[in-house]
Structure 1
Amino acid sequence: MPGAARNTSYSAHHLQVLEGLEAVRKRPGMYIGSTDGRGLMHCLWEIIDNSVDEALAGVCDTITVTLHADGSVEVGDNGRGVPVDIEPRTGLTGVEVVYTKLHAGGKFGGGSYTASGGLHGVGASVVNALSARMDVAVDRGGQTHAMSFRRGEPGVFADQDSPDPDSPFRPFDETPTLRITGKVARARTGTRVRYWADRQIFIKDAQFDDEALRARARQTSFLVPGLKIVIRDERGLPGTRGADGLHEEVFHHEGGISEFADFLATDPPVTDIWRLQGSGTFVETVPVLDAKGHMTPTDVERECGVDIALRWGTGFDTLIASFVNIIATPKGGTHITGFDQAMLKVFRKQLEVNSRRLKVGTDKVDKDDILAGLTAVITVRLAEPQFEGQTKEVLGTPAVRAIVAKVVEQELTQRFENPKKGEKQQGALLLEKVVAEMKSRISARLHKETQRAKNALESSTLPAKLADCRSNDITKTELFIVEGDSALGTAKLARSSEFQALLPIRGKILNVQKASVADTLKNAECAAILQVIGAGSGRTFDVEQVRYGKVIIMTDADVDGAHIRTLLITLFFRYMRPLVEAGRLYAAVPPLHRIEVVNPGSKPNELIYTYSEAQMRSTVAALTKRNRTIKQPLQRYKGLGEMDAVQLASTTMDPAHRTLRRVTAEDAQNAMQTFELLMGNEVAPRRDFIVTGAARLDRERIDA
């Protein structure tokens, strides 16, 4: 600014240089993404993945993860053990190099690992830097070697027998040394790492997610056939599987990614599990450390192995799980690009060859038509892959695209041209399904099942029973789906007709998780809801076309009302999921009780509404303590129809006073599996779920 005094004292001494692990503690988000529960779990993945890399190298078959009651976590394996000898360039033991030096490890082309997930050499050292305490024990050469660290600094704690991160700590004065703490059989090797996350770094509420840990363990056991992963939870936290004491679960799968794809798939199959396998080589220029310690650009020939398991089902959802050296790449990368390109090329060629039989015409199939109903597990293995960032969510190695594309093209073409009767029949059914998806998309039909015949949903007229609102402003309009005609009458009087619309349903709608698409669309109540929402369904659902800003399910506060609400949420989740993901589906919360407090004289009595049994009891107790007179008996609402219009408006429908519960689906895949368990065709898993959970049932919570 003109006239403003300028500070010209900025000089070199103002510059700050962070060395070693200081940078990690100063900017933890750069290395682990965040300092909440996700960052906490990322640290755990880094330690677990080091053990998994040993399994990938064929030298480890058991990994044990223990969540201790004191907040620490321990990961142990029976691999080769971290090297305990002296690393010549640094003069430090292998243990100290691995756990204190950034960009150090055995995965930089030294021949120890042909394919691994840890590539940047920062995983273990970053976790160490962000830990209040870390204890490392290595079984190697017939002895157990141990070393402890505090926030990345090696030293000795005073309480080695009962470890505590707050116990007195003495850093090493000179070069750190490994302690010999015991003897083991010479054939026994392995590494055990126990650490306490530093609460100076992580937020107070950050917790290990046991469900995410179980999912990752299951996933890894599929990706590394024969590897046994044991999860032990000793925390006793409420709401976890170990709430009642020690809980141990073992994950061990011999079937590999074929079994993984079958596990992930939720719809009836159109094809069997198809396994596409192959490999290719490419030349990459990388800096290699020579004998003099200099980095020299060198051309290195790499091999990339491709292993893909896929199957198509009758549904329209697509689930592709991709991995590089068993590290998940949720945001894809060059391997997914190659997969998509090859799929499009193969299917277009096959449709061209069979165009007359399939009546394809001049239409072109696109990627979404092919991927509809596909469940695939895509894995590639190569040395030193390039990832975009430390979180490794995107593969960046360019040559992988062409290798994956070539393998998929060759293997998939062989599947379609296989003369075996079963394979040929599956290929023909798959092509018919893809053509059906293409025609459905081009004709803008709601579903592939509705492409050949007229459907009630094609009608532009809205159901007669809809009491629509006058406003067209999506930011304000609300659709109430009301249970029963009796409640509808009261709701019509209670609503604001300017922006609140009402759609009554009669009784319990169809369980769409068990029904076919055709049966769902034939059902009058389901069809009416889809018509009124006005945005299609399934893969063609367009959330931008939804006619109302909020969709609110308003059912009675009893068991039947809860069942109807569950059936409706199932319908929305299966056929209108983007509406749920956008946070526009709600459940109304009507009151359970009305307490009338008698006022003296001519003053009107005071009405208090409560929404649970506990709230009612505490409210009555508080009023009694204040010597207030309560009119008896208390009114217990069993249904919406028992309230008059004023009561319904003030408690449930008026935006100024009501309470709404938003229906969310943070993890769509877990939610889908839960819906399938609770609402699907398979009875046995649901029975096991009920029997297992019966012991934890609180009978007081049942509103019968």
Structure 2
Amino acid sequence: MAAADYTARHLSVLEGLEAVRKRPGMYIGSTDSRGLMHCLWEIIDNSVDEALAGHGTEIEVVLHPDGSVEVRDKARGLPIDIEPRTGLTGVEVIFTKLHAGGKFGGGAYSSSGGLHGVGASVVNALSQRLDVEVDRDGATWSMSFERGKPVVFHDSGEPAPDSPSAPSPDGKELRKTGKVTKKTTGTRVRYWADPQIFTKGAEFQFDDLVRRARQTAFLVPGLAITLTDERGEEVQEQRFQYEGGISEFVEYLAPDEELTPAWRFQGVKSFSETVPVLDEKTGHMVSAEVERECTVDIALRWGTGYETTVHSFVNIIATPKGGTHLAGFEQSLTKTLRDRVAQNARKLKAGSDKLDKDDVLAGLTAVVTVSLPEPQFEGQTKEVLGTPPVRQIVSQVVSQSLAERFESSKREDKTATSTLLEKVVSEMKARISARAMKETARRKSALESSSLPAKLADCRSKSVEDTELFIVEGDSALGTAKPARDSEYQAILPIRGKILNVQKASVADMLANAECAAIMQCIGAGSGRSFDISQIRYGKLIILSDADVDGAHIRTLILTLLHRYMRPLIEAGRVYAAVPPLHRVQVKHARKPDEIIYTHSDEELHQVLTRLRKSGKKWVEPPQRYKGLGEMDVDQLAETTMDRTKRTLRRVTIQDGEAAEQIFNLLMGNDVTPRRDLIMSSQIDRDRIDA
């Protein structure tokens, strides 16, 4: 029960880094693997800021087997001299004092991602042990911390977080531990995350590290980042270095074929901002108006698809939730293209309809970066930029740059801008048509079933969650599957052979294809951006194809259609592949009915026959091999593939959307060369390819 009185003695004052350890989520977002990675990037970003300032082009990150991580650079090295106001060395100030660093006021950095001055100190506070080494002024200087407090560790061998520790005997926390040449500079930080803070199972994610390191290397041309993971049986190492900057980044990110070339929009503009600054005479913070400079650098291109891929950054720090820079970019892009379409409405047959943001962003891949001193972020995790003037600055740069493209006399610019206007108008018309169809499309009643494909054998149940749509290969399979189903909740749609490869085809070709149109019509939820999973007519979509190479190809083509135009179905776990048997073995018994065994591969058949032979049992020779579903009788198909109590289904899922998109582009796209290289490599079994 709470005390009735409330006086000053009830107040707690947390000194130094105690507040960080008490409420770590305020500083790093969470204490799971995501928070662990956030800490690591606070240290890496300090080295990246040095590279941005023109000092050092190499960063190494090593994940050690003992769970620690080390970040090395060859930049200027952390300051080792005494900071006059605290009387501490620069290293100790950086790692023990919140809101302290060289990124306030623009003294050491014109722009940086580490704005708030809490990065290194927060990592130190949340580490069981942290070691820092600085090469500077011809010597190596070392300092260690235990849960944020300076100590000296007495290691008997390799450094370890549980080694005995004690305060420095001579009172000097930063110690000279070696000699280097005068020109050798750099910083090495190694730390062990505190198990008292982070949840059990939290660990550094190498894949996330690779993704972020690659991104950073694109954003800082010439910077080399080397990652080494020593935790597994085999050491993994990756190195990233790009000279093309964000233009090369856009080409890497683009998920579709190029419609316009990659354009680069750049500009530098100034703005005034009222901020608190330190008055050197009084030592207090006072408001003052300062002049800031904002550098805008944008790379973008449109592709043939409708997916939008836009990544935004402030001082190379990702802002996944956008902010004023992204708002200015989208606002200017929409307004400029809307005006251009209005000027060419008759030529484009656009009518009086207006573009909206989604029409403009469809098929766009863009990287939006801005650099400015002391950006205002919403929270320490820096996910949203809040500096208001940046919106107008980005908008002006985009408007001016786009206008230059549209007014250019170069043939390639004229072709690209004309193609772009046709693209956005096409998207606008598709959106308007889809909206009209969506308003009229509802779950068809029995009286309205004539609007569905004639070859669909529908089910009686109207319960979406309980119903299933089987897509079967050909009329012969339909002849067996239709009587084998439970017509109460199982519907059958036959398709004719191999459908269109939509990864290569245009949207118009896809819509004109009878088989693709029939599948989308039966599902009843639209396609592309207008797809609405709440309007689906069946709870499960089951692909039922032959258990051979042709059947696998048909299944792949259907999955390509679903992934490209109805991806939420897969993401919701509503797409399945049936597993029909390939062989039927009839085992003879003298005094009871013969036993039937179904196998799904040649290897499984061999194992079954070997087992039967060893046990002395006989079977009807030869075992029956199904060349297709049409060769199975009704009872066999019902028992093996359609009966819910006996069948086997494989659920189709997406674990990594970006990786899935790359695989579909690789295996089903227009570019033949990388597909040939994959086939010729040792990564796949070439005996399984139907040549």
Pairwise TM-score range, normalised by the shorter structure: 0.7 to 0.9
Distance in 2 between residues matched to 1:74 and 1:614, nearest whole Å: 48
Distance in 2 between residues matched to 1:20 and 1:303, nearest whole Å: 34
Distance in 2 between residues matched to 1:631 and 1:99, nearest whole Å: 77
Equivalent residue number for residue 542 of structure 1: 532
Distance in 1 between residues matched to 2:604 and 2:15, nearest whole Å: 57
Query: How many pairs were matched up?
Result: 675
Taking a change above 3 Å as real, the CA distance of residues 494 and 228 of structure 1, as seen in their structure-2 partners, is same
1:417 matched to 2:407 = yes
Taking a change above 3 Å as real, the CA distance of residues 151 and 646 of structure 1, as seen in their structure-2 partners, is farther
Q: What per-residue deviation string (whole Å, max 9, x for no partner) do you get for residues 317-343 of structure 1?
A: 221111111111111111111112111
CA contact (8 A) 1:68 1:234 kept: yes
Aligned match for 1:98, one of 91, 94, 100: 94
CA contact (8 A) 2:294 2:372 kept: yes
| 1:444 alignment partner, SS class | helix
Deviation at 1:631, TM superposition (A): 7.5
Distance in 2 between residues matched to 1:62 and 1:378, nearest whole Å: 25
Distance in 2 between residues matched to 1:177 and 1:636, nearest whole Å: 81
Equivalent residue number for residue 562 of structure 2: 572
| 1:432-471 matched pairs, under 5 angstroms | 432-444=422-434, 461-471=451-461
Equivalent residue number for residue 109 of structure 2: 113
Aligned match for 2:183, one of 184, 187, 192: 187
Deviation at 1:114, TM superposition (A): 1.2
Q: What per-residue deviation string (whole Å, max 9, x for no partner) do you get for residues 343-400 of structure 1?
A: 1221222223223332333221111122222111111111111111222111111111
Equivalent residue number for residue 321 of structure 2: 331
1:72 matched to 2:62 = no
Distance in 2 between residues matched to 1:96 and 1:648, nearest whole Å: 74
Equivalent residue number for residue 263 of structure 1: 252
Matched to 2:24, the amino acid is: P
Taking a change above 3 Å as real, the CA distance of residues 349 and 519 of structure 1, as seen in their structure-2 partners, is closer
Distance in 1 between residues matched to 2:569 and 2:76, nearest whole Å: 51
1:86 matched to 2:86 = no
CA contact (8 A) 2:150 2:173 kept: no
1:532 matched to 2:496 = no
Aligned match for 1:225, one of 221, 227, 234: 221
Distance in 2 between residues matched to 1:122 and 1:378, nearest whole Å: 26
CA contact (8 A) 1:131 1:197 kept: yes
| 1:443 alignment partner, SS class | helix
Distance in 2 between residues matched to 1:295 and 1:630, nearest whole Å: 92
Taking a change above 3 Å as real, the CA distance of residues 63 and 500 of structure 1, as seen in their structure-2 partners, is same
Equivalent residue number for residue 669 of structure 2: 680
1:303 matched to 2:299 = no
Taking a change above 3 Å as real, the CA distance of residues 98 and 234 of structure 1, as seen in their structure-2 partners, is same
Distance in 1 between residues matched to 2:607 and 2:14, nearest whole Å: 57
Equivalent residue number for residue 450 of structure 1: none
Taking a change above 3 Å as real, the CA distance of residues 528 and 95 of structure 1, as seen in their structure-2 partners, is same
Aligned match for 2:657, one of 664, 668, 691: 668
CA contact (8 A) 1:92 1:175 kept: no
Q: Cα RMSD (Å) of the superposition?
A: 3.6
After TM superposition, the score normalised by the length of structure 2 is 0.87
Q: What per-residue deviation string (whole Å, max 9, x for no partner) do you get for residues 485-539 of structure 1?
A: 5554454344332222222334443332233334433443323212212222223
Taking a change above 3 Å as real, the CA distance of residues 349 and 165 of structure 1, as seen in their structure-2 partners, is same
Matched to 1:413, the amino acid is: A
CA contact (8 A) 2:57 2:74 kept: yes
1:516 matched to 2:506 = yes
| 1:44 alignment partner, SS class | helix
| 2:98 alignment partner, SS class | coil
Matched to 1:498, the amino acid is: E
| 1:321 alignment partner, SS class | strand
CA contact (8 A) 2:64 2:230 kept: yes
| 2:451 alignment partner, SS class | coil
Matched to 1:433, the amino acid is: K
| 1:529 alignment partner, SS class | helix
Equivalent residue number for residue 360 of structure 1: 350
Equivalent residue number for residue 211 of structure 2: 215
CA contact (8 A) 1:598 1:631 kept: yes
Taking a change above 3 Å as real, the CA distance of residues 690 and 49 of structure 1, as seen in their structure-2 partners, is farther
Distance in 2 between residues matched to 1:139 and 1:172, nearest whole Å: 21
Matched to 1:88, the amino acid is: P
Amino-acid identity (%): 66
Query: Which runs of 5 or more residues in structure 2 are unaligned?
Result: 438-448
Taking a change above 3 Å as real, the CA distance of residues 29 and 599 of structure 1, as seen in their structure-2 partners, is farther
| 2:26 alignment partner, SS class | helix
Taking a change above 3 Å as real, the CA distance of residues 703 and 512 of structure 1, as seen in their structure-2 partners, is closer
Equivalent residue number for residue 456 of structure 1: none
Distance in 2 between residues matched to 1:95 and 1:599, nearest whole Å: 84
Could you tell which deviates more after superposition, 557-566 or 117-126?
557-566
Distance in 1 between residues matched to 2:18 and 2:436, nearest whole Å: 57
After TM superposition, the score normalised by the length of structure 1 is 0.85
Distance in 2 between residues matched to 1:326 and 1:415, nearest whole Å: 26
| 1:340-419 matched pairs, under 5 angstroms | 340-419=330-409
